[in-house]
Amino acid sequence: MSHMSVLHWSPLTSEKHEVIDLQGHVAPCVKHEGNFYEGFYRTHVSTLAVKNNLLVAGGFQGELICKFLDREGISYCSKSTHDDNGITNCLEIFEKPSGSVHFLASNNDCGLRDFDMEKFQMCNHFHFDWAVNHTSLSPDGKIIAVVGDNPDGVLVDASSGKVIHELSGHLDYSFASAWNPDGRT
């Protein structure tokens, strides 16, 4: 991010080029159900994720902007929440066992949402009693570690959102989580 632009910088050539200009109006060029066709103006980005050819930017007002890097234009825009405190805190792009591309969006409105990028729609919305600051999907894709504005985090089933296990012991809120590749830690 630099001056309202998402940039790609190559460490090999030290060259940069603009991927998304957020200074003005950003709107999807593809029609999909659930797409926010009006787009957004001057989106302030709070978090980014890039994996393979997908870039997802999350905004301070719950905006989500998705761009496939091998395609022209913006593929998908969505407003994940209309809550005044809906900042997008974390994004994680992943592939389901079926091969479909998804991403998780964690928000201050206490929500965790799973978006399907093959169908361009939200397929799950899990709600917690506290702002969700960060999530991490287990290596096998079955469990999500969820931490936020609560000293205790939780492990939830990635399909149902049901709490599997509480993670206690922290003395304050948490803002990051990660899995060991063994999937147990």
Task: Summarize pLDDT for 127-167 with one digit per residue, the tens.
Answer: 999 999 999 999 999 999 999 999 999 999 999 999 999 99
Q: How confident is the model at residue 36 (pLDDT cuts 50, 70, 90)?
A: confident
Please tell me the distance from the alpha carbon of residue 25 to that of residue 7, in angstroms, as a whole number.
Answer: 17
- Amino acid 1: pLDDT: 85
Residues linked to residue 166 through DSSP beta bridges, in sequence order: 154
pLDDT of 34 higher than 80: no
Backbone φ/ψ region at 52: left (φ over 0), alpha (ψ -120 to 50), beta: left
Dihedrals φ, ψ of 129, to 5°?
Answer: -85, 0
Q: How confident is the model at residue 14 (pLDDT cuts 50, 70, 90)?
A: very high
With a threshold of 0.85, does the pTM exceed it? yes
Question: 146 near 132, Cβ under 8 Å?
Answer: yes
* H or E segment to which residue 104 belongs: strand 101-107
Nearest C-alpha neighbor of 148 from the set 112, 94, 123, 124: 112
Nearest C-alpha neighbor of 90 from the set 125, 152, 133: 133
Question: In order of start, what are the domains of the chain with their CATH numbers?
Answer: 5-128 (2.40.10.480)
pLDDT of 31 higher than 90: no
